[in-house]
Each structure stands twice: as C-alpha cells, then as structure tokens.
Amino acid sequence: MILEARAVSFRYPEADLDAVYAVSLGLESGEIVAVVGPNGSGKTTLLRLLLGVLCPRAGEVLVEGRSVARWSPRDLARVVGVVAQREDQLFPLKVEEAVLFGRYPHLEALGLVRAPDRAAVQRALERCDVAGLTGRRIATLSGGEWQRVRVARALAQEPRVLVLDEATANLDVRHEMEVFELTADLVRHDGIGAIIVTHQVNLAARFADRMLLLHEGATRGLGTPAEVLRPEILEEVFAWPIAMADWRGIPQFVPLRRLPEHEPQRSGACRDPEAGGTA
Amino acid sequence: MLRRLLYAAVAAGVLLGCDAGQGGVRSGASDTAAVGPPAHRVVSLSPSLTELIFTVGGGSRLVGRTRWDTDPPEARAVPSVGDGLEPNLELILARTPDLVVFYDTPANAAAIARLRAAGIATLSLRMDRLEDVPVAARLLGDALGVRPTADSVAEAFETVLQRRRRAVNGPGPGVLILTWDSPPIVIGGGSFLTELVALAGGHNVFADLTQPSAPVSLEAIAERNPDVVLLAGGQAPGFVDRPEWQAVPAVRARRFARVEGSAFSWPSPRSLAAVDRLAAAIAEAGR
Amino acid sequence: MRRWLLLGVGAACALALGVLLGPTALDPATIARALAGGGDPATVTIVRDLRLPRALLAFLVGGSLGVTGAALQALVRNPLADPYLLGLSGGAGLGAVLAVALRVAAPWAVPLAALAGALAAVVLVYRVALIAGGVLDARILLLGGVVVGAFAASLMGAVMAVSPAPEVRNALLWLLGSFGRASWHAVALFAAYAVVPLLVLYRLARPLDLLTLGEESAQFLGADVERVKRTLYVAASLLTAVAVSLSGIIGFVGLVVPHAARLAWGRLHRALLPAAFLLGGILMVVADALARTAFAPLELPVGVVTALIGVPVFVLLVRRWAR
C-alpha cells in the first residue's frame, strides 16, 4: 500500500468537533480512490493529513509504510504529486518552465538540470497531450490547458501517487472529462495510484475503483461505488431527496426537484414525480 | 517610496544651499518697522539679533527672546518664548510686543504673516558675514529708536574691521572649517567664519563655495589638503580615528584647532574681538 | 550567454567609472600610475585609499541590496517589497541618532549602533510575524516591518526634536545614504560578512522559484517552506542591516533592480539573483560616482541619484519588454 491513513482524527484549534474522525483509507498502485462528500465533510482536511501538512491528533498516516511525519518535503514530493484547484501565478512562465518545477524534488544539491530531468519533462508533456503548447506563456492558456499542464508538472515528479484536489472544479465538461480520462489512463498504464477529491460524485463513481464517502468528518461509506452509493445514505449525507439511476452498471444519483404538493420519492427506481404521478 | 524620494530631494536641495547667502542683510519685503515709530516692546527670535540689540543699547526694550539666547548674560533675565524657528505665536503674543525681529528664512513666512495680520510690526534680518553686522545694527537702531548708539557701534565695528583687514599679510595656512563629519559638512565663503579665519591669518580652503555651509566629498577635502582643521560646532566625537579620514594629512597628524563660545556661532563685535583667540588656536595647531 | 557578458562588462565599466570620476579631475594616466603607487602621494592616497574602496563598497552594497530585494519579493510574494520594508531602516536610524545624542566617542560607534538598532528591529518584526505554531506569516511580516519602522522613525524624530544639540539633527543627514564612510576596513568587513548570507540566498534559488506558486504548492513540490522562509528572512535581514550601518539608507535599489533584472535576465532565481547582484552593483557605483561629481566639490545623497537614474531606465525596460 503506497498511501495509508489509519483511523486518523483531527480537530482544528478552537473547534468543538473533530473535522475528521477515525477515518481510514488505503491506496494501492494501479487503483483510483475517490473521496466525496458535502462541503465541510472533511475532504480537504483528510487530504492535508494524508499529505503531511496537518498532524493528526489520533491515528497515523503512512507513506510507503513509513509515517508521513518522517518524510522530508523533498522526499515526499518524489512520491506524491498534487494537482490543486487553483494556484498563484506571480510571474509569467513558459509551459516547459512550469512543468520543470515538477523536477525540483529530483534536482541534486547544486540544482542543475540534467538530461534525465529534461527527458522526464518531455515525457510528462507528451503524456498529458500538452507538448504542442511548449513556448507558450501560461497566462495565455485556457483553463483546461493550464490544468493539463499542472497535471504534467505533477507527472514530472515521477510520483507513485497522483492527488487531484478538486482539480476540475472550474472546468467545462470537455476539459473535466479530459482530466479524468488522463488520470485513469495514467493509473491503468503507468501503474500509479490516484486519489481524486471531487464534488462530482457521479463522475467519480464511473472512474474510481473505490470510493470514500465522508459526512461531518466521519466515514459513511468505503468500498466500490455500488457499495457506497446507497440512496438512503446519500439522502442523509447530502440532505437532499434523490433518485438513483444506472449507467452501464454503475450507480448514478439524480437530485430531485422539490415540488410543494408531492412528497419526495424514496426508491431505487427512476420514477419521476415531476411527470405528475400520484404520491 | 515616492514620499521618501521627495524628502531626499528636498533635503538635497537644502544641503546644496537653496538658502545660499546672497550676502548682506535682508529685510522682509514690506517691513513696516523701518518707517514706523520706534518700538518699545521687542521680541527677538534669533540669538545673534538678541545680542546685537543689547549691544546697540536696546536691551531695555527686549521683552522676549528664544531659549537659545544666553549671551549676553543680561539676556537671561528676559523671558523666553521658545524656539526661534517655527516660533510659538501664543507665547510671543502673550508678551504684547509691538515689534518682532525674525531670523530671515522662508520658513518663518507663515508666522510673519500671522503677526502682521494681528497688527504687529516685524523685521527679518540675517547676518551671514561680518560686513552684515553694521548694516543690521543701523536697522535695529532705527527700529528701536536708539540710532545714535547703534551708529557708534556700527562705526566702531567698521573701523576695527578695516584695521584688521589691513593687518593681514599673505594667505597663511589653509584651514578646513568643519562642522560635521558624516557626511563632511564644511563652512563656505558665505559665512563670517571664513573672513574671521582670514583675519586670523589663514584662509578657508573652501572659500570658493558661496554657501555658508555645504556637504562636500572627503576626496575634495583630501585634495585641498588643509594645514589645519578647525572644529566649529559639534561633530560625532571619534571621527578622527576613522580609517577614511586618515586620507587627509591634517587629520592624520592631528592638527586640530578648537574654539568655543558663541562668538564663533554668529557674527558680532565679539567675533572681531575673538580673532586673536582664533589666530592663537590656528597657530598652535599648525605646530 | 550574451546577456551575462553584457552584465560582466557593465560591472567592469562601472567600477572603472567609480575610480576615474571624482570631484578632483584626474586624467586616466595619472590614475593608472597612482594605482600602481607612483606619482604624487596625495593623488595616490586619493585614488587608492578613497576612490577604489569607495567604488568597491558601493558595488558590494548595491549588489547585496539587489539580491535581498529579489529574495524578499519572492518571500512575501509581493513585487513592491523592498529590503527596507523589514523595518530595519527605522531601527538603524534610531540607533545612529541615539549614538550621536549620547555622544558616544568611539569611531565605529555610529555604524555599530545603527547595526544594533537594525537587528533589534528585525528581531521585533520576526516575533510579531511568528503566529501560533511557529509559522512565519508573510503578510504580517510586511505589515510588521512597516509598523516597526514607522515606530522607530517616530522615536527618532522625538529624540531629534527634544535634543538641543544640532549634531543630533545632523544625524538625520547620515541616514540619507552615502559612501563617504568607505575605507578598506569597511570593504573588508562587508565582504567578509556578506559572503555567507549571499551564498545562503543563492542556495535558496530553487525554493524561491517554488514559493512564487504559493506556499502550499511549494510544499507539494518539495520545498520545506517554513525553513526556507526563516532562513531567507535571517539572511536578508543580516545583509541589509550591515549595508545600512555602513552606508545609510539608500532606497530604490532593492525595489527596482530585481524587476529590471527579471525583465531582461529571467525570472528563475538561479539567474535572477546573480543578475540582480551585478545590476545593483552597477547602479550603485554609477550613482555614487555621479553623486560626487555632479556638483563637485559638493556631494549629493546617493539615494537621490539612484532614484534619478533608476526611474527612467526602469520605464525604458518596461516599455521594451512588456507584452
């Protein structure tokens, strides 16, 4: 197991409740794990715990079997590549310069860039299908292109784990699908593991091997999408009436509209109260 | 940053001598003092003018002085009204003066305007050089109605000055008149000290500068190679040991002359009398 | 490569200018002879003991301010950062004014007091910026620097207003910045002292690149962010404190040189820091040479000249390279 959280709990200073309570999660190479849940459920906190940014008050986080606290940021960056939602762009860089940043954890003491580094950058650029953008300044890229470049940067770190932290939140359908597909491709063919934190529960269900559903800091489901996405649990967690649908064997959920004269339906079948059926 | 820039530029301007002496006494543009009746309650906002007022016999009419005016000793009996630059108008008005004598500088323009508006006559004078003394004396004599005494003081001054000038032979040792060390600020030709040094038998190596004082580079001092360094006013003690100052031979050889006393702070009849003291100090240092 | 050559040649020219120009007009042949020790002893003294150390000190100080400015701009992620925002200029001024007001007699009293004041201010700002958990918050650092600097400056103003001695008011002139205090002692002192902080800053070049992405992103790319911030702050403060204590406050260089260097020599700090050093050195030497010659024998405060040269050059650069 490359990345593992064992019953971690964390409470922010001055808070009354734990932000994350006794959550366990394991990631093997070659698999995608999606972390979903409503706002405030602890997804970001869990991620920070996994990456060693925060220190749990109980439980432990292990990276390649060793406690994350014992990893230096540099060594950790050689194993875990993170693509965040947004990032400062203080100075305008070219695409290849931006991707080269991903090699920094690998540069030795004098900081010289060597041939293997350049090769890794080139591979990452091609893999993420942004090799055609070299020479362009990142300020001129579209949102989707910039995001793919950031995935390339994470890939240039040659990590064993890719972490996407709501990385598609601002992208349109096409670009979002591209990022998800790219991630899936990398996991299948390059054998890395991926953790995707996202609001897109349905997409996550279609791409992930396993899912973790969080609610108020606690685990409400951990397993395959079919095991986790149960209507009654989803309704409780997301506090909204839903109906379940099925897309090629993968459960998808549909949030229902609230109509005053109808009670929300509670079933797995796709009966549509908006079509005017009786309660 | 812009503010800092502006500040530095203004300071540079001041340092370079935007108050460069044009020589001679200046009276404020529309002084009423020169033509009005003699004043009986006078406030003086400049130590040099306070002393001169006493010298010309107007001391009994002085009702206010700055806190720096301690010469002559009689001046201490006169109440203080605070600072001479950016004066305290409240304290001045409390003395109910009919004439206020200012040190002539643009900084006092606002105060002058306020006093004029209150119906009080003002006179702005400034003595940078020795020949300014008799002129100022006569002006004060008019303003205070003590013209006869003032005239005799002025004439005596002029006589002594001429005599001393004739007594000088040859340029004598080169003297650097230093008032500050970092940056080096020297006295220039626009100040009475230059002439005083000349009367004492030496010559100011920076007499070519028209300003009363100015910051110069250490290299210029080294090049002009004064024989004696006259320390006028305070400077950070200990600068004589600083390595860069050793480039000036007079500093390296410790040829310093020091003079104390307000006779060397502003021109006055006492300054003339102090020439001998100065000459002795310079000669002593040159040995 | 060509750009670096340009900088190198520029540096050599600037240093030459610093030795050739001065309030005393000396022709190059005389100067060359004086450098070798021949000719009139007064000229030898002027060239070897006054001009040469002064040019060198100006170069070193200017270079250090350039590097510090660039590093600080990356640390606080703000292109308007300037070494004097650390609050130490106020502290240095207060130290100097107190040394003069208390009439401390030693020859190095004023620079040492300025150094002590600067370091005290730096420590104060550091403590203010250390929020819970030992994390150095860059925004509070900026604010703290401005506040501490202003506080020290107002104390300085109070001392100057209250103290009767005119020399205390003259202490203010010292602050305006000047290389008149340069000597071989000062050069040796500064060179020996500055080597370590400069090397430390250069080693931080890659982490500084990462910092521009934001602290969290930098950490995910392998930078030990807290350690980098602390090290950078200490190195930058030490360098600037010594520069201020030897030459007063010379603004503008630390602010603008990094931008000019960035525009023409690159944004990545491995190139930027050396470029900022050379460019800062060149600017300072030229400015100092002009300060002593423009109105000879009078001397302008060098900070005024750096601004007068720097602003048009900067505007030109921005126009040429802006996209």
Confidence of residue A274 (pLDDT cuts 50, 70, 90): low
Chain A residues within 8 A of C276 when measuring between CB atoms = none
* Residue A184: predicted pLDDT: 93
The answer to whether chain B touches chain A by having 3 or more C-beta pairs less than 8 angstroms apart is no
Q: Specify whether B123 is located in the same domain as B185.
A: no
Chain A residues within 8 A of C212 when measuring between CB atoms = 88, 90-91
Q: Which of A78, A84, A88 has its CB closest to that of C212?
A: A88
Q: What's the per-residue H, E or C state across A7-36?
A: EEEECCCCCCCCCEEEEEEEECCCCEEEEE
Mind telling me how many Å the CA of C70 is from chain A's nearest CA?
13
For residue A18, how far is the Cα from the chain centroid? 22
Q: Specify whether B54 is located in the same domain as B111.
A: yes
* Residue C274: predicted pLDDT: 94
Q: For the segment A222-260, what is each residue's pLDDT rounded down to a tens digit?
A: 999 999 999 999 999 998 888 999 999 899 989 988 776
* Residue A264: predicted pLDDT: 56
pLDDT surpasses 60 at A262:
no
Q: Give the lowest-confidence range in A64-68, C145-149, C203-207.
A: C145-149
pLDDT surpasses 60 at B53:
yes
C 31-70 residues inside an 8 A Cβ radius of B? 42, 45-46, 49-51, 53
Q: What's the per-residue H, E or C state across B175-204?
A: EEEEEEECCEEEECCCCHHHHHHHHCCCEE
Instruction: Please give the residue range of the domain that contains residue C163.
Output: 2-321
pLDDT surpasses 60 at A17:
yes
- Asked whether the beta carbons of residue C174 and residue B183 sit closer than 8 angstroms, the reply is yes
Q: Specify whether B134 is located in the same domain as B100.
A: yes
CA distance B222 to C50: 9
The domain boundary residue, chosen from B165, B194, B216: B165
Overall average pLDDT of the A83-104 stretch: 84
Q: Which of C77, C209, C221 has its CB closest to that of A88?
A: C77
Any idea what DSSP says for residue B80? B
Q: Specify whether B157 is located in the same domain as B194.
A: no
Instruction: Please give the residue range of the domain that contains residue B248.
Output: 174-286
pLDDT surpasses 60 at B18:
no
Chain C residues within 8 A of B244 when measuring between CB atoms = 49-50, 53, 180-183, 186
Overall average pLDDT of the C96-124 stretch: 83
B 151-180 residues inside an 8 A Cβ radius of C? 180
CA distance C269 to C70: 8
* Residue B30: predicted pLDDT: 42
Please check whether residue B256 touches C, CB under 8 A: no
* Residue A223: predicted pLDDT: 93
Q: Can you state the percent helix, strand and coil of chain A, rounding each to 5? A: 35, 25, 40
Q: Could you tell me if residue B77 is inside a domain?
A: yes
* Residue C165: predicted pLDDT: 65
Q: Which residue has the tokens 């950078």?
A: C232
Mind telling me how many Å the CA of A249 is from chain C's nearest CA?
37
Q: What is the mean pLDDT of chain C?
A: 86
Confidence of residue C309 (pLDDT cuts 50, 70, 90): confident
Contact A96, A121 (CB under 8 A): yes
- Asked whether the beta carbons of residue C225 and residue A73 sit closer than 8 angstroms, the reply is yes
Would the pTM count as exceeding 0.90? no
Contact A95, A135 (CB under 8 A): yes
**Would you call A82 helix, strand, or coil by DSSP?**
strand
Mind telling me how many Å the CA of C213 is from chain A's nearest CA?
5
**Would you call A265 helix, strand, or coil by DSSP?**
coil
Q: Specify whether B225 is located in the same domain as B130.
A: no
* Residue C303: predicted pLDDT: 86
Report the b/e string of C74-112 with b at 16+ CB within 10 A: bbbbeeebbbbbbbbbbbbbbbbbbbbbeebeebbbbbb
* Residue B145: predicted pLDDT: 87
Q: Specify whether B77 is located in the same domain as B150.
A: yes
pLDDT surpasses 60 at C214:
yes
Q: Specify whether B231 is located in the same domain as B135.
A: no
Chain A residues within 8 A of C221 when measuring between CB atoms = 77, 101-102, 104-105, 153, 157
State whether the Cα torsion C293-C294-C299-C300 is positive or negative. Answer: negative
Q: Could you tell me if residue B10 is inside a domain?
A: no
Q: What is the mean pLDDT of chain A?
A: 87
* Residue B249: predicted pLDDT: 92
Q: Could you tell me if residue B229 is inside a domain?
A: yes
- Asked whether the beta carbons of residue C206 and residue A51 sit closer than 8 angstroms, the reply is no
Q: Which of B4, B182, B219 has its CB closest to that of C174?
A: B182
Overall average pLDDT of the B140-155 stretch: 90
Q: Specify whether B252 is located in the same domain as B130.
A: no
* Residue B233: predicted pLDDT: 65
Please check whether residue B10 touches C, CB under 8 A: no
Overall average pLDDT of the C154-168 stretch: 76
Q: Specify whether B43 is located in the same domain as B120.
A: yes
What residue of A is the nearest CA neighbor of C133?
A13
The domain boundary residue, chosen from B117, B138, B165: B165
Q: Specify whether B96 is located in the same domain as B123.
A: yes
* Number of domain units in chain B: 2
pLDDT surpasses 90 at B110:
no
Chain C residues within 8 A of B247 when measuring between CB atoms = 45-46, 49-50
The CATH number of the domain covering residues in A3-229: 3.40.50.300
Q: Could you tell me if residue B282 is inside a domain?
A: yes
* Residue B66: predicted pLDDT: 86
- Asked whether the beta carbons of residue B183 and residue C42 sit closer than 8 angstroms, the reply is no
State whether the Cα torsion A91-A93-A99-A104 is positive or negative. Answer: negative
Confidence of residue C312 (pLDDT cuts 50, 70, 90): confident
CA distance A82 to B244: 57
* Residue C133: predicted pLDDT: 56
Overall average pLDDT of the A162-177 stretch: 88
CA distance B265 to B257: 15
Chains that touch C (3 or more CB pairs under 8 A): A, B
Q: For the range A229-238, what are the long-range contacts, defined as Cβ-Cβ under 8 Å and sequence gap of 24 or more?
A: A229/A201, A229/A205, A229/A253, A231/A266, A231/A267, A231/A268, A232/A266, A235/A266, A237/A37, A237/A38, A237/A41, A237/A213, A238/A38
- Asked whether the beta carbons of residue C49 and residue B244 sit closer than 8 angstroms, the reply is yes
Angle of helix C166-175 versus helix C138-162 axis, rounded to 10: 150
pLDDT surpasses 70 at B127:
yes
CA distance A20 to A15: 12
Sketch the domain layout of chain A as residue ranges. 3-229, 241-279
* Residue C97: predicted pLDDT: 83
The CATH number of whichever domain residue C19 belongs to comes to: 1.10.3470.10
Please check whether residue B22 touches C, CB under 8 A: no
Overall average pLDDT of the B171-191 stretch: 88
* Residue A266: predicted pLDDT: 55
Q: Specify whether B156 is located in the same domain as B209.
A: no
pLDDT surpasses 60 at A95:
yes
Q: Give the lowest-confidence range in A83-97, B179-193, B201-215.
A: A83-97
* Number of domain units in chain C: 1
User: Strand B203-204 vs strand A242-247: parallel, antiparallel, or unpaired?
Assistant: unpaired
Q: What is the mean pLDDT of chain B?
A: 82
The domain boundary residue, chosen from B165, B183, B207: B165
Mind telling me how many Å the CA of B1 is from chain C's nearest CA?
8
pLDDT surpasses 90 at B239:
no
Confidence of residue A103 (pLDDT cuts 50, 70, 90): very high
Confidence of residue C228 (pLDDT cuts 50, 70, 90): very high
Please check whether residue B217 touches C, CB under 8 A: yes
pLDDT surpasses 70 at C120:
yes
